[in-house]
Amino acid sequence: MSVDNDEHLYRLPHLCAGAKISRGTLLGWVKREDNIIFADLDQKETSGRGGAIIFSRRQAIQTGLVAEGQRLGMPVALAAKVAAGFAYVGRSEIGPLPGFVPGELLKGGRRTYLVHFEGSETASVLAGLSDLELAAAAGEQGVSALNAFHVINVNAVVQHMDEALEANVGPHSHDVGGVA
């Protein structure tokens, strides 16, 4: 699927299906003051559906990463920081990996991992999980490599989200951006 990460194309049910979360959970994340999911509540679909919130692919991936972080045992606010770092920030929060573009998978068929060490408020994007790479990520996050850590396989999250989003895109849709 070739979609600009910032085009608003998807509705709430699409993100819920991809992230395997309830509508209430996602609505709670969108409306929280600490911005679990960055959503412009003024950006609404106006095709007679009651003003449904619409989302970009970048927000969909962010949602999938937050949900996966929670499944791995991260508190939602921390999972949100880690996901936002991947989706929006880049170098200053998640590491000096050459060629990393916020919100995108690593190029050249390399796996993309998001690694968060206990005691840190950030995460690192890694192309591999060798001892050396994990030690460097821990150092980058200012913690010991002996700390417990979470690993999110970003490729798997992106693939699942894209499949769910693509399944909801129809060529004859009358909704925003061709979304059914």
pLDDT (tens place) for every residue of the chain, 180 residues total: 344 566 657 888 889 999 999 999 999 998 887 778 876 555 554 444 556 788 888 999 999 999 999 999 999 999 999 998 888 875 434 455 667 888 889 888 889 999 999 999 889 989 999 999 999 999 989 999 999 999 999 999 999 999 998 887 543 233 444 333
Query: What's the pLDDT at 153?
Result: 97
CB 60 within 8 A of CB 15: yes
List the one residue out of 71, 79, 74, 46 whose CA is nearest residue 148. 74
Query: What's the pLDDT at 43?
Result: 55
Residue that is written with structure tokens 């030690």 in the block: 135
The verdict on pTM exceeding 0.85 is: no
Reading the block at residue 179, the tokens are 């979304």
Reading the block at residue 122, the tokens are 């950030």
Query: What's the pLDDT at 67?
Result: 97
Query: What's the pLDDT at 109?
Result: 83
CB 66 within 8 A of CB 83: yes
Cβ contacts of 164 within 8 Å, gap of 6 or more: 14, 17, 18
Distance CA 103, CA 154 (A): 10
Strands (E), the chain: 8-11, 54-56, 113-117, 124-126, 149-153
Distance CA 109, CA 150 (A): 22
Distance CA 84, CA 103 (A): 9
Distance CA 144, CA 117 (A): 8
Give the torsion through C-alpha atoms of 92, 112, 116, 139, to 10 deg: -60
Distance of CA 119 to the CA centre of its chain: 21
Query: What's the pLDDT at 54?
Result: 84
Query: What's the pLDDT at 34?
Result: 78
